[in-house]
């Protein structure tokens, strides 16, 4: 109990004092997560909407696969990226292993199915409501796709936020492909794992606080923004 109290105090000191290492780690974490969520959204939103709107052979299978891949184990994804990017792997020539780029790739692959699966559900429900009207006006599924994504924007923000949450909290994949190298690929989650195993609880705990704080404030901010815009546009 005494240790925990000490840890809290030290953690607070690190945060308030903007400890240099801490700031660097937080900054890299945000960079990696935000970039991967952006990439995953660019791929996942249209992908999910396409599975919702187009009828093709294997359509049901695609929907099932998306849903199943929502829960992809990060360590397995990490391992696959590791094998692909390692010197002897197919993409080894790019020398991306143990760089932030590799971490971004791994997280984007993890999150894309999550965003796509949630998007599919949202867009499918909306299409049920809009289909007759849009077809009557002259829009087929291809033309309806951007329209539905835009009209579902508030619900889809939740899907993107879920992706962001998964990215910031994830540790297995970034540990494997990033390697947790000090000043290069060390992010909040990998640091927490490392410092905990070393017994340096204050830094681990401080990062834990910040991780939760970031998650809460970004989600809260997004919620309030959506609420504000929704109230103006209905």
Binding site for another protein (CB under 8 A): 129-130, 132-139, 143, 147, 150-151, 153, 232-234
**In the bound complex, what is the minimum distance in angstroms from residue 128's beta carbon to another protein?**
11
**In the bound complex, what is the minimum distance in angstroms from residue 230's beta carbon to another protein?**
9
Contact (Cβ atoms closer than 8 angstroms) between residue 206 and residue 191: no
Q: What is d(CA 152, CA 45) in angstroms, rounded to the nearest whole number?
A: 11
Cβ closer to another protein: 87 or 232? 232
Cβ closer to another protein: 214 or 222? 222
**In the bound complex, what is the minimum distance in angstroms from residue 144's beta carbon to another protein?**
10
Cβ closer to another protein: 86 or 155? 155
Q: What is d(CA 116, CA 14) in angstroms, rounded to the nearest whole number?
A: 38
Contacts of 62 (CB under 8 A, 6+ apart): 51
Long-range pairs of 87-91 with CB within 8 A, sequence gap ≥ 24: none
Cβ closer to another protein: 21 or 129? 129
Cβ closer to another protein: 183 or 232? 232
Work out the number of other CB atoms within 10 angstroms of the CB of residue 145: 20
**In the bound complex, what is the minimum distance in angstroms from residue 127's beta carbon to another protein?**
11
| Relative orientation angle of helices 100-137 and 153-169, to the nearest 10 degrees | 160
**In the bound complex, what is the minimum distance in angstroms from residue 46's beta carbon to another protein?**
19
């Amino acid at each position: 109990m005494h240790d925990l109290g000490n840890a809290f105090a030290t953690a607070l000191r690190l945060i308030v004092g903007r400890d240099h290492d801490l700031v660097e780690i937080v900054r890299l974490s945000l960079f990696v997560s935000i970039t991967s969520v952006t990439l995953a959204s660019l791929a996942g939103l249209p992908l999910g909407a396409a599975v919702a709107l187009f009828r093709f052979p294997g359509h049901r299978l695609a929907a099932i696969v998306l849903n199943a891949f929502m829960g992809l184990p990060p360590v397995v994804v990490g391992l696959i990226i590791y094998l692909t990017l390692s010197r002897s792997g197919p993409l080894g020539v790019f020398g991306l292993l143990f760089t932030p780029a590799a971490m971004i790739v791994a997280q984007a692959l993890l999150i894309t199915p999550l965003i796509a699966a949630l998007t599919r559900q949202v867009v499918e429900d909306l299409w049920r409501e809009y289909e007759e009207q849009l077809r009557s006006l002259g829009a087929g599924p291809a033309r309806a796709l951007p329209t539905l994504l835009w009209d579902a924007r508030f619900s889809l923000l939740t899907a993107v936020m879920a992706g962001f949450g998964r990215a910031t909290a994830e540790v297995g994949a970034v540990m494997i492909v990033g390697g947790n190298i000090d000043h290069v690929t060390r992010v909040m989650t990998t640091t927490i794992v490392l410092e905990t195993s070393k017994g340096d609880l204050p830094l681990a705990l401080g990062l834990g606080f910040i991780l939760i704080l970031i998650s809460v404030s970004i989600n809260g901010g997004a919620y309030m923004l959506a609420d504000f815009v929704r109230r103006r546009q209905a």
